[in-house]
Structure formats: structure tokens, C-alpha cells
A and B are shown apart, each in its own frame.
Chain A
Amino acid sequence: MYGIVNKAIEDLVISNFGREKWEAVKERSGVEVDFFIGNQPYADEVTYKLAQAVSDEMEMPQAEVLQAFGEWWVLKTGKEKYGGLMQAGGQNLKEFLINLPEFHNRIMLIYTRLTPPEFQVTDIEENSLHLHYFSKRQGLQEFVRGLISGLGKMYDCPVTIELIESRLAGHDHEVFKVNW
């Protein structure tokens, strides 16, 4: 993953728990990288280790860590660093979610060494849609859930998220039904 992801985790921990805690997390994770550079790719393992260390250090289930990180990614990293880009994604939550697949497809082109997930949108209703999530990575579905709820917060639009299909349940990808 690109350094920006790990950096976002760093920011999340420092902002909420202080630099000492971050050092503890890093110590626990065994990751020996001092400085994450946004556009440099790092092994996925680094990100997983950091997430696991946060979970252990904070005594939080990993799912919660990932959700928190998803929200943080949208509300802090996305909004602060790519504010305009995010806004250009749509005028409201629904529009943004519908644009999400193309958004990611473009990202794939921009970040050549990135293997971003692919999204599809189906069953678009007045107040809901199905978001299909295809990823080579395992175990990041809760991160996606956090992303969606973060988007809901960004657009000031409360959402409920149902995971209706999942690789863990034998499907080939995850499907989230997003209601607002």
C-alpha cells in the first residue's frame, strides 16, 4: 500500500492518543519504518501489522480499529488532503457512491503501483444502493464499512450499512447495502 495509508494510521493514533502511544504501537508492530512517504508503496504487511498493533495496544477488536480508520480516512485524510477531489466526487452521498467505481478506476491509473479495489454499484434506489467491493486483499471489509459511514458523516447524511454478501460467507466478493 502507499505510504499515505500508513501515514493516515499514524495520524489517527497520534491525534487521538498522542505520539507516545504511536511509538508504542510501532514498537509493538515491529515495523521499523521511521517515516512514511505518501506516494511510496510499502508492503501490505506493514499496514496489517500496524492495524493489529493498534488493536492490541488499545485493546480494541480489529474490526473496530478498521472501522475507525475507514472513517478517519474519509473525514481527515480525504477531506484535508484531497478536499477538492472528494467534493468533485459528487454533490451528495448518493452521487458520490455512484461515482465511486469510476473514481477508483482513475486512481488505479494515477497510482501505477497501486492495486486499488474495484467497486460496482447496483440496485440504486431512492434511499439505498448496493455497493460491490472486489479486492485482492483479505480482511479489509470493516475498513470499507468505516469508509462508507465516514462518507455519511461527510455529507451529513446518517447511513446504515448491511453486509449482505461476503467472501467469509462463501461469496466471491462483498456486497454492502447502504441505506440513508
Chain B
Amino acid sequence: MQAAVGVAFSNEQLNRVFPFYFIIDRQLQVTGYGQSLKKLAGKELHGCFNSNFLVYRPHLDVIDFDAIHSLSDRLSIIKLLDKPDQFLRGQFEYLEDRDALLFIGSPWFRDMESVTASHLTLRDFAHHDPLIDLLHVLKAEEIVNDDLKELLRTVHQQKKDLRNAAEEIKDIALFPLQNPDPIFRIDFTGKVLMSNPIADSISYFEYKEKHYSPQEFWPYLVKQIDLAVDKWSFEIVFEQRTFSFICKYLQEQNYINIYGRDITIVKEKEERLKLLSRIVEDNSAVVIITDVEGRITWVNKSFVDNRGFSLEEAIGKRPGELMGGPATEGESDQYLRQQVQEAKPFKTEIIGYTKTGEARWFRIQGQPVFNNRNQLIGFFSLEQDITQEKLASEKIRQSEALFRTVLERVGDNVWEHHFKLAKTTFSKPYYEFLGYPDGSLVDEEGMLWWKSVSEEDLYVLRSAYEDYQSGLIDTHSLEYRIRRQDGTIRWILDRGVVIEKDETGSPLRSIGTHTDITRIKQTEIELEQRVKQFRSLSESIPGVIYEYEFRADGTDGLKYVSPVIEKMFGIKAEEFKNYMSFLHPDDRERVIEKNRRSRETLAPFYDESRLVIPGTGIRWHAVHSSYSYTSQTGSIVFTGFILDITERKMAEEVLKANEEKYRTIIANMNLGLLEVDTKGIVTYANKGFSTISGYSPEELVGREAAPLFLEQEGVNLLNKKFEQRRHGIADAYLVQAKNKNKEERWWLISGAPRYNDKGELVGSVGIHLDITEQKRQEAELVEAKIQAEQLARTKEMFLANMSHEIRTPMNAVLGMSNQLAKTELDTKQQFYLDTIISASENLLVIINDILDLSKIDAGKLSLETIGFELQKVADRAVQVLSLKAEEKGLRLVNTFFDQQISPVLLGDPFRLNQILLNLIGNAIKFTEKGTVSLKFFLEKDEDTQQTIKVSVEDTGVGMDENYIEHLFDKFSQENESITRQYGGTGLGMSICRELVELMGGTIGAVSAKGKGTIIAFTITLKKGRVIDLPVQQTTIIDKRFLRGKKILVTDDNELNRLVASIIIKSYGGEITEAADGEQALELLAKEKFDVVLMDIQMPGISGLEAAKQIRSKGNDVAVIALTAGAVKGEREKCIAAGMNDYISKPFREHDFLTIVNKWLPKQEAQPAKIVEPAVQPLYDLSELEMISKNNPDFIKKMCAIFCEQVPPVLAQLNKAYHTGDLKMIGEIAHRMKPSLANLKIHSLKEVVASMEKLGRGEINTNNIEAFINQFTEVLNAVVADMKKKLEGAAVDKT
């Protein structure tokens, strides 16, 4: 019994088991549904069943609760209204408790893709729902179907392939491509449809003796083919091969197969057979063919002709029957019969008979003939009539026997060699050759001779033998050694000749002789050795061996010259045979003459002559020869040798020349030669000594030499010298001697010991030279030198003193001028002062020049190489001298300055200035009226340098041509009156020339008396750039840099003290003065100073002495020398004395301050920046006064404008400086320039110029800060002062 089971699902369970369920109530409202249905519908399901679903199957007429209820026992298919084609498959169940209908089912999908398209996954289906699995199975089926379809396709393809393969196989059977014979398939137009590889290789067809290409051939052939005939064949030739083709017409297939076969071999065989038949038929030899029995079956034409029997007569007979006869029978006949019987080949010679009965010799050669089954079918034989040959060989045999007999008598031994048997037989004496007594030896092998041949020579025989065998030679003549039985060696001459050959030309037999040539050979060898000895000798001796022959026909020449000649003279022996061409032309005639004499008298020949060797020059050679022999041809042969005597000759030449030279020297120098013995007795005196001494040689020989000429002192000296000679010492010395007239003479004697040929001292020899005159000159020279040195010292002293005397006042002039320059001066005064300063400085340079004159003389003056502006140098020179010119009423102008001249050049502007001043000064001096003009021409312009010509032209007195030559000499003036009239040192032009030459230039003058002079110099200078110009040191603004500094000025010259004091005071320094060294030392002992300035030349304690004392007291105060002495070495003296530095007077203020600053004790790190003090007035209104004609209102107004103008300008400048705008700085300077000039603010003149240059990039920016500061400070000061004055003026007014 089955218990009733009531199951109630919770919503959750329902949802899990039937995730696509829905419930509708009686009003058809959807009251519940599964989660997966919601996912499928893509929305919440609300309201009525009808608005969400449609009952698709079974069909319902009316949709209401009962109608749907009625579906409970049916499969219901419900359609989702919003999802077309989306069906639910399931069933309705009535839920009694709720009076509702429950739909249980799941969606129906046709494939998996629709599932995923509905965004459902496995999880959305109940586990028991097999839908997915169903779809999976469907999918698998689908895949399998695809597989099966593919399999079918494969099978189908394979079937198709099989069918094709079968076709192909059939075709290949018909048309085998691998067939080694050619096959073609053509259609009826002759087009080749198929061909196998061998067929393709046939590139042409030779058909009926014509060539066709494959393209031509087949169309041609196809026309010939008779299609009615089943098979049709033809032949072609290709590359010497013959092909036979058979054409097979295949009607069904509509083509022709053509099968070919290579029949070349068959063809060849056919041809050969034909040929053979013809050969046999036409052969001159007799051919006989017999059957097995030996009966003739066929004979050729020769047989008929030769034997006289016709073919018919011969057939059926045996050859023996037909041609046998009395002489036939014998060994040969027997042999033939036996061979035939045994069916073997045969070869023999036999006598047979012709039809006419004539006996003849035949050579028979034959063989049995077999058929394919190897059965004997008959014989084939060739017969040759050799009757003539037989007769000939008999003759040969006879003559040979004769020949042998002869040979045996001629040679020592006769041999005969059989090549085939390789056997040699010898006639009797052969055994004697080898030392075997007759009959004692049997040489069966015939090899004894070969064995006796010495091993070294065996090859000779062997090679000849091989040559014979290979047919290279027919005769031979050999020399070799054999060893006799007793071991002695004999030389053999072996000669032979081939006397018989076979039909191929190979030797069969040769005969020859052996001759014993031992004695000849020995002689020959000895001779050869001699020749070798001679050659080696002649080649190793340092001379050339030669033979000279005078021939019977009257000619002569070198027969032999040893090769040494080449080593000796570089001439090949062969070339030298034409020796006459090498002989020096001057020597030829003599040699020819000597040759003639030798030929006539057979007297030995000797000559020394020159050879002219191309490329080497002249060489001397000595030639000796003597008569040697007369040759068979009647030539007289002289043998001799040649030696190279060039060196000897050269030495002789030199010796000769030297002798000549010394002879001349001794004669010309009047050298006296005196020889004395060991006791000092004269043994020889030459003529020269007689002249020197006044004694004749006769008077001298035998007398003691020394007392004759010398005082006691000299005698002592001479004794000492004798002593030295005894020790082998030679030397030269000077003595004062007296000649015969008792005159004092100076003799220079060169003495040497004298030895006899045993090497014993026998005395001495002296060569005497009278040098009295030289002695006198020497003394004079010494005197002159002393005087000259004294003079030079005096000059130097004079110059030093003069320099000092001028420098001292010059220091004051320059110093004071500089101080004056700082005061307020009007334009004219400024001009005058500038000129004073400039002239003073030039004067200083001139003084220095005078001092440096010695330097110039010694080439020690050095020039500066700095950048300078030539135009400025020119202007300055004109400026300095214009006043002087004006005074004389002359015009001084720089009339020409070539603008191509580089603005900056590198050189020494001071020296150039000096030259210009000198030349212009001179011109002005010698010109009374007219013009002095200065011109600068550019002579040559190169990349890096320029050559400039400077000329100074005047309209003055001019000079004589003679004088111009000496114009540039020192201390030179045309005449004394000129000196009186014009003054001057006469040094100027000389210095100019020295300086110009030092600059590498030239100077010259052109002048005409009374018309004027042009002096021009040309120098080459390197081109420079603006940055090469020395930066002008401007400035020390710090007026206080000496404030609080105590400076001791020591100088005996009050003016100098004054100059130094003024300068130092103006910079705030405190001055203490001392008039000499003593005072200075006293002051230093009491007070402490920062710097001591010390003159050198002072009365009492000099500067140097004072310095030494200061240092000795341990005082380390800075001591700076002030000296007017510009003498060389002064500086070193100062430093040695303990001074710190050195200033030469006169000095420039700037230099002076720089050095003082350098030695100031430094309390703080102060840059050594020196700025000139602004002692001169800040500004000057005189210009404005002049312009305005002293209108005070105008001046005030201008000043006020200036005061307003300055601050913005300074601000702008400051900005430009900070932004690095150099151009702007330049512009500001340029803009302010007129105002500054009007107000005469001179202190800014150079600064403004520099700022302008800065703006143009012409100078570097090193000093830019100083420029800006100075510009700002000065202008601020000017404005402040002006304002003060303007206010004052205003107050004044009010």
C-alpha cells in the first residue's frame, strides 16, 4: 500500500526546483514567479497573465482561469509576449489551497547560442533540468555531422584522385616517361603533346641529310606520314647517334605515338661489315677461306692475280693441292697440317708455286672460324708474298757479316744486341776488357757487361737503352767506366747503331764497338782540373789575368779576360775585350805603339794607363804581359795580368801636389832649416836660414850654432831644448837672436830630434821663422788695445755721468710738468705743457739712446713688440715738432697716410717715434723755408704683415751725393761749418739707421743740393688687432691710499725731493725728507717709516751703503732706490745691497705710485688699483662763457639742464651695466660727450672714450666697473657742486 505523500514547497525550494515557475490566481493575475523566469523575461512580471504570456499550444478559444486549468493534463507551450520566439515548455497544476494555477516548466531553446543570448547560465537551470544537456547532445551531433561531412568529402576526393591515378597509370603504360629510348606523342599538326626526357634531349633532327629543329621537324614529318599505314618508320641522326622511329597512329585518341630507338651501334656494325668485306676483297694480301675440310670456298681478287688461278679453279681444292710443290714440304708444311687438324691459329713462312710453276715465298697467317654455337665452320687465312723480302734479308745478312769483320778490326770489341731477347753477344776481345782470359768465362745471360759497368755511370747506359726502345735514337756514343775483374777501372767509349727494326719501328738489333779510352780520359780529366785550378786562381787573385793575341792576319785583341775585371772595374769581361774603347784617349796612341813593339820583338809589355769607365770615372790600371805561346792558327799569344793602381796613382798625385805645396811654402815663407849634431854643431843649413841669419851655409857648417846667435839666456834655453830632444820631444819656441849684423831678431823655432836609419839620435833639426816684424806689430796692437779700452772706459764714464747730470734736472722738469698739468690750465697752456712733457720724454729717450749706443754696437738693443696705432705715432711726432716748425715758419704736415695701413700694428712705437722725431727734426733743422712733409705708403700687404714706407721730405739745403753715402755713419756731419751752423751730435741719423735695421728694414736718402732731401725707410710689421693695444691704465680715484703712511725721501737733490714729496702728499702721505744717507739713517733710528725712497749717488754715505746699514740693523722697512744712473747692472747692485725695488729717474708719476703701493705694508687686502687724483677742476664753465659771451643766465640755465639730465642718465647707465648691455653703455657715453666737452670735464675724457670703445666691442670688459664708478662719481660730484653754486647764486641774487 502506498501512503499518500503530501509535499509542500517553500517559495525558496520552489524557486530552486522550478526556477521558471509562475503562479496565476483566478483573476489571472500573476502572483508569483521563479528567479530564472524573471531573468529570462528581463523584467519583473506584473498584472494579468495575458499581458505577459500567450498560450501558444494547445489552442484555446477563450483565455480564462478554467480554460487554462483545463490544460493541466497537457503539455503546454507558453509564449513570452515581450520576447518573440521565446517559449516556455511545461504544464499547469491547480493549487487547491490557493485556488491558483502553478506553471512548472522551463524555456525551450533551439541551440546553446540562444541560451547565452538570453543571458542564462547553467546555474539558472534546475539541476534536474536536462535542457542544457539536450542542447549539448545536439551540438555534439552537429559536430559529428560536420566530421562526417568532411569525411565524405575526403572519401570523394580520394575516389577522384584514384580515378586520375588510374588514368595516369594507363597513360604511363602507353607512354613510359622513364623509357631510355625517346618517345614522342604528336597531334596531326605536328605539335608535340608529350615527350619523355630522353626525347627532350634531342635538340635537332638530321633527317635525310638536312637539319631540323624540333619545331620544324614534326610538322614537316607529319605531312609525310601515311595514316593508312598502321606503322610507319624513319631514321634521324642526332649528335652522331642514329635513332630509328616507329610511328603508331592511335585513332581513338587522335594522336600519333612515335617510339624511337638508338640504333647507332647496329648501324656501325653494319658499316664495319661492309667495310671489312670491301677490304678483304680489295686487299693486296691474298685471302683464302676454306671449309672445315680445308677446301677452298672463296678467294679474293689478289689470289687470282697473284697465283694465276681463277676463283672457279680454286673452289673445292685444298691450298696444298693447288700450290704445293717440291720445296713446299718440310717443317712448315707439317706445322700447317697439324694446326688445321687441331683447329688452331697458324702462322708460318712457306714456299709455294703459282699456276705458272714459279716458286715463291709466302707468309701465311690464319685462324679457324667458328659460328655462334662455337662450331668450326672453316678457316680464314691471309697469305703474303715475301719472296722479295727474303732476298733482301739474305743480302743484309751477308753485308752484316762483312760489316762485323770490319768493326772488329776497328774497335777493341764488337758487340751485337738483340732487343727482343735482351741479349748481347761480344767478339772475343771483350773478355780481355774485363780481365778474363779467353774461354775462362761463359756469359750465358749476356749480362756480364752491364754488371761490370760502374754504378755511377750505369744510368748513362740505361737511359740510352730506354731511348732506343722508345725509338728516340738510332745511334749512340757514350763514355762510361767499367770495373775489371781485378778491380781496376777503365773508361770505355761505347758506340752503336740500330741495324734492324720491326714493322712498328722498334729496334730489333743493334751493333757497336767498345773502345778503351782510359788514357785519353785521364788526360782529359787532368786537363779539366788544370783549367779549374787556373780559373779559381785567376778569379781569386786581385788582378785580372788575360791573354792577348796578335793574329796572323795582322789584327790583335784580347783573347781571354778573367772575370775579376768586373769586380775590379765594373766592366764585364766580354765588354772589356773591346778595351780600346775604355782607354783614355790620351793613352791610346802609346798603348798601340807598345803593342806594336811587343808583336815585333816579343818583348814583355808594361804600361800604366787610364780607363774611362762610364758612371765611375777615371781609373788607373797597370798591365804586365809577356810572350806565352804561338797558337796553331799562328797567333802570337801574350799572357799577363792587369792591376788596379788607381789608389797608388792618387796617392802619388797627392804626394806630388803636397811636395810642390810645401816646397813653395818653405820657399815663400823664407823658412830656415838648420841641422845640428848632438853637440850642437851645425851639419846643414839651407839657403833660407842663410837669409834669416846673414851667414852663408859654408860659414855655418861645423860651427856651434847657439853662441853664434844667442845671448847666455838663449843658450840656456837651447840647452834645455837639446835635453828634450834627447827624450824624443819635439816642440816650438821663441828666441830673441842676433843676426850677423848684430840686429835683434825674433825667431820662432820648431825643433825636432833627428835620427839615423838605425833609429839612433844624431842631433836635431830646427825650422826657423823670423817673426821680428810680427812681434813689432803685436806690441803696437797691445798698446793700441790698452788705449782703446781706456778710451771706452772714459766714454762709458762720460756717458754715465752725462746721463746722471741730465736725468736729475729732467726728473724735476717732468715731475713739475706733471704737477702743473693737474692745475687749472687754459687750452693754450695745456698745449704748451703737453709739448713740454712730450719733448722731455723724447729727450729722455734720446739720452737712453746715447747710453744704449754701446748696446746697439754689441747688437744687444732689444725692441718691443706691442700693439700700436701708427696714425697716432705719426700725429704725436708731428705734434711734438710742429711748434719747432712754426717757429721757423715752416709747414709740417702729414701729407699722406695710406688708409689701407692696418689701424693696429705690432712693433716698437717708441723707437718708431724716435726715428720719426729724428728724421723730422733733422728736416726742420736743415730747411729754411717751405714744407716738411711726412708720408706713409703701404708697399706690400700680406695676410699677416704689411710693409710700410715712411718718407720725410723737406725743401731744405740738400746734400752732396758723396755725403749721402756717409749720412748714416756715426758722428757724421757734412762739414764743420754745418756743425757750427746747425749744431747737433751727428748721432741721430746713425741711430735711425741702427733702429730701422734692427726692425729688419732699410733706410735711404735722395737729395739734391739746394733743392731738398727725401729720407725714407721701409719696415715690415705684423698686423695687430684692437685687443693687442695695451690697456691704458687709468686712474686711482682713491686719493687717500697714502693717508697715514709715513714715507722717508732721501735725496741730495732738493728738486728731486720736492717732486717726490709733492706726489706723495697729494695722495695723503706724510713726508719726511733726508738730504743724505747719514741723515736718513739717523731718522730711521728714531722713527718708523712705511717706505724709504733712497737716492743712490749721494755725498757721504751713498744709497747703497745706507741700505746695507739699514739691513744690518735688522730693519726690514721697504727701501726703494731712486736713481738717475741708467747704467747696466745698477738694479742688481741695489737688490744686492738689500733694497726692495728700483725706480729710474726721471719717472712717470703712475709708475712711481705703482711701485710705492707695491711695497706699502698691507693692513687690509687692498687691490693695487691706482687712479689718478682729480686734482684738476671737476668742470670748467669757460667754454659756456665763451659761447654765451658771458651771459650768466644762459650759463645757469645750461647748468640746471645738465643737473636735471644727469640722474636719469646715471640710472640708465646703471641698468645697462647690470644687464650687460655694452652697446647702451657706449651710446650713453657718446650722448654725454658734447655736454662733458662743453663743461670741460676732462677727468672723464678717457673714461668716456673707453666706454665708447666698450660699446663697439673694441676692448674687453675688465675695467668696466671702474669706468662706471668713475663716471658716476665724477658726474655726481659735478652736479652736487653745480647745485651748490646755483643755490649760492640764487641766494646772492636775493
Residues of A at the B interface (CB closer than 8 Å) are 3-4, 7, 35-39, 81-85, 87-91, 95, 99, 102-103, 106-107, 109-111
Expressed in whole angstroms, the Cα–Cα distance for A35 and B122 within the complex equals 33
A99 and B122 contacting across the interface, CB-CB below 8 Å: yes
Whether A84 lies near B116 (C-beta < 8 A) is yes
Interface string of B95-130 (1 = CB under 8 A from A): 000000000000000011111100011110001000
Using A39-B140, A82-B139 as known contacts, say yes or no to A88 and B132 having CB atoms under 8 A apart.
yes
Beta-carbon contact of A37 and B140 below 8 Å = no
A139 to B115, CA, bound (A): 35
Residues of A within 8 A of B137 (CB): 110
Q: With A and B bound together, what is the CA distance between A7 and B150 in angstroms?
A: 13
On chain A, the residues within 8 Å of B136 by CB distance are 82, 85, 106-107, 110
Among B141-149, B474-482, B954-962, B1047-1055, the stretch in contact with A: B141-149
Complexed CA–CA distance, A82 and B114 (Å)? 13
Contacts of A37 in B (CB 8 A): 144, 147-148, 151
Sample of 8 A–B contacts (CB below 8 Å): A38-B143, A39-B140, A82-B136, A82-B139, A83-B112, A102-B122, A106-B133, A107-B136
Please, which residue of chain A has its CB at the minimum distance from the CB of B124?
A: A88
Nearest neighbor of A37 in chain B, beta-carbon distance:
B147
Please name all residues of chain B whose beta carbon is closer than 8 Å to the beta carbon of A4 when the two chains form the complex.
Answer: 143
Q: Which residues of A contact B115 (CB under 8 A)?
A: 84, 88
CA distance A128 to B951 in the complex (A): 110
Contact (Cβ within 8 A) A91 B113: no
Q: State whether the Cβ of B14 lies closer than 8 Å to any Cβ in chain A.
A: no
Could you tell me how many residues of chain B have their Cβ less than 8 Å away from some Cβ of chain A? 26
- Asked, given contacts A37-B144, A99-B122, whether A85 binds B154 with beta carbons under 8 Å apart, the answer is no
On whether the beta carbons of A38 and B144 are closer than 8 Å, the reply is: yes
Chain A: CB-nearest residue to B122: A99
User: Which residues of the partner chain B approach A111 to less than 8 Å between Cβ atoms?
Assistant: 140
A89 to B122, CA, bound (A): 6
**B139 contact set on A, CB distance < 8 A:** 81-82, 84-85
B800 interface hit (Cβ, 8 Å): no
Question: Contacts of B114 on A, CB cut-off 8 Å?
Answer: 84
B114 to chain A, nearest CB (A): 8
For A2, the closest partner residue in chain B by CB is B140
Are the C-beta atoms of A88 and B122 separated by less than 8 Å? yes
Cα distance A4–B136 in the bound complex, in angstroms:
14
Known: A38-B147, A110-B133. 9 other contacts (CB 8 A): A4-B143, A35-B151, A37-B144, A37-B148, A83-B113, A84-B116, A85-B135, A90-B122, A107-B136
Q: Are A84 and B127 in contact (CB under 8 A)?
A: no
**Which residues from chain A contact B143 at a C-beta distance below 8 Å?**
4, 38-39, 81
Whole-angstrom distance between the Cβ of B107 and the nearest chain A Cβ: 13
Q: How far is the CA of A4 from the CA of B143 in the complex (A)?
A: 9
Inter-chain contact A90/B133, CB cutoff 8 Å: no
B1077-1120 vs A, Cβ < 8 Å mask (1 yes, 0 no)? 00000000000000000000000000000000000000000000
A-B complex: 9 closest residue pairs judged by Cβ atoms: A84-B112, A87-B116, A84-B113, A39-B144, A38-B143, A38-B147, A85-B112, A99-B122, A84-B116
Q: Binary interface profile of B, 948-969, with partner A (CB < 8 Å = 1, else 0)? A: 0000000000000000000000
B148 lies within 8 A of A99 (CB): no
Residue numbers in B under 8 Å from A39 (CB-CB): 140-141, 143-144, 147
Cα–Cα distance between A85 and B151 once the two chains are bound (Å): 25
Q: In the complex, A83 Cα to B135 Cα: how many Å?
A: 12
Asked, given contacts A37-B151, A88-B132, A110-B133, whether A103 binds B144 with beta carbons under 8 Å apart, the answer is no
- Nearest CB in chain B to that of A82: its residue: B139
A82 to B137, CA, bound (A): 11
- In the assembled complex, the CB of B557 is this many whole angstroms from the nearest CB of chain A, namely 96
Residues of B within 8 A of A38 (CB): 140, 143-144, 147
- Contacting pair A99 B151 (CB below 8 A): no
Q: Which residues of B contact A102 (CB under 8 A)?
A: 122, 127
Give every chain B residue within 8 A of A87 (Cβ-Cβ). Answer: 112, 116, 121
Q: A95-B123, A106-B133 are in contact. Are A88 and B151 (CB under 8 A)?
A: no
Closest chain-A Cβ to B134's Cβ sits at a distance in Å of 9
Q: How far is the CA of A109 from the CA of B151 in the complex (A)?
A: 27
Chain B residues contacting A89 (CB-CB under 8 Å) are 121-122
**Which residues of chain B from 210 to 225 have a CB within 8 Å of any chain A CB?**
none
Q: Which chain A residues lie closer than 8 Å to B121 at the CB level?
A: 87-91, 95, 99
> Which residues of chain B have C-beta atoms less than 8 A from A35's C-beta?
147, 150-151, 154
Question: Would you give the shortest CB distance from A114 to chain B, in whole angstroms?
Answer: 11
With a CB–CB cut-off of 8 A, which chain B residues contact A90?
121-123
On chain B, the residues within 8 Å of A107 by CB distance are 136
Nearest CB on A from B129, distance (A): 11
Nearest B residue to A109 by beta-carbon distance? B133
Q: Which residue of B has the minimal Cβ distance to A39?
A: B144
CB contacts (< 8 Å) of B135 on chain A: these are 84-85
**Nearest CB of B to A53, in Å:** 22
CA distance A3 to B148 in the complex (A): 12
Closest residue to A7 on the B side, CB-wise? B147
Contact B132 A106 (CB under 8 A): yes
Closest to B118 in A: A88
- Chain B residues with CB under 8 Å of A7's CB are 147
A88 contacts B147, C-beta separation under 8 Å: no
Which residues on A sit within 8 Å (CB–CB) of B151?
Answer: 35, 37
Q: How far apart are B35's CB and chain A's nearest CB, in angstroms? A: 15
Which of A85, A87, A99: most chain B Cβ within 10 A?
A85
| B122 / chain A contacts, CB cutoff of 8 Å | 88-90, 99, 102-103
> How distant is the Cα of A87 from the Cα of B121 in the complex, in angstroms?
8
Q: When the two chains form the complex, which single residue of B120, B127, B154 contacts A88, counting CB atoms closer than 8 Å?
A: B120
A14 to chain B, nearest CB (A): 13
Question: In the docked arrangement, what's the CA distance between A4 and B144, Å?
Answer: 9
- Distance between A95 CB and nearest chain B CB, rounded to angstroms: 7
Q: In the bound complex, do residue B147 and residue A82 qualify as a contact, i.e. CB atoms below 8 Å apart? A: no
- A107: nearest residue on chain B (CB-CB)? B136
Instruction: Report Cα–Cα, A91/B124, bound state, in Å.
Output: 12
Q: Using A106-B136, A107-B136 as known contacts, say yes or no to A88 and B144 having CB atoms under 8 A apart.
A: no
In angstroms, how far is the closest chain A Cβ from the Cβ of B125? 9
